[in-house]
């Protein structure tokens, strides 16, 4: 079985827009969209997973494989912190609920700006 791979924004562009990127300069939005300064904002995923996720956040979508969920949560949070993006109540509640089944980790982030 072969699958096509997509490069996916951990935090989708529309979600970033809704979380504060709408107030950024065009240059900063381009930097976000092409962020190679951290390994977490851009990830290789199967096209099926990318299409299923779309522009959703963790309140409405989680990876189908339970073994990937804790990594997803950590990378989502790291990306939000790196880019100083906001988290809405439903998103925070979902992240907190899902994270309860994950082992404790320390997330280290270098802010993008």
Query: Which segments of the chain are extended strands (E)?
Result: 5-9, 42-46
Q: What is the pLDDT of residues 20-54, one digit of tens each?
A: 999 999 999 999 999 999 999 999 999 999 999 99
Report the phi/psi class of residue 77: left, alpha or beta, with left for phi > 0 and alpha for psi in -120 to 50: alpha
Judged by phi (left if over 0) then psi (alpha if -120 to 50, else beta), residue 50 lies in: alpha
Mean pLDDT of 56-78: 96
Q: For residue 3, what pLDDT band results from cuts at 50, 70 and 90?
A: low
Instruction: Report pLDDT for 2.
Output: 58
Can you give the pTM of this predicted structure? 0.93
Contact present, 16 and 32 (Cβ < 8 Å): yes
The CA distance from 25 to 85, in Å, is 14
């Amino acid at each position: 079985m072969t699958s096509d791979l997509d490069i996916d924004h951990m935090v989708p562009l529309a979600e970033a827009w809704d979380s504060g990127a709408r107030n950024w300069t065009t240059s900063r939005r381009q930097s976000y969209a092409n962020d190679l300064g951290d390994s977490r904002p851009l990830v290789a995923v199967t096209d099926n997973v990318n299409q299923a996720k779309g522009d959703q956040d963790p309140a409405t979508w989680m990876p189908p494989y339970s073994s990937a969920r804790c990594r997803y949560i950590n990378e989502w949070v790291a990306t939000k912190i790196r880019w100083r993006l906001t988290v809405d109540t439903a998103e925070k509640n979902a992240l907190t609920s899902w994270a309860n089944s994950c082992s404790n980790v320390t997330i280290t982030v270098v802010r993008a700006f």
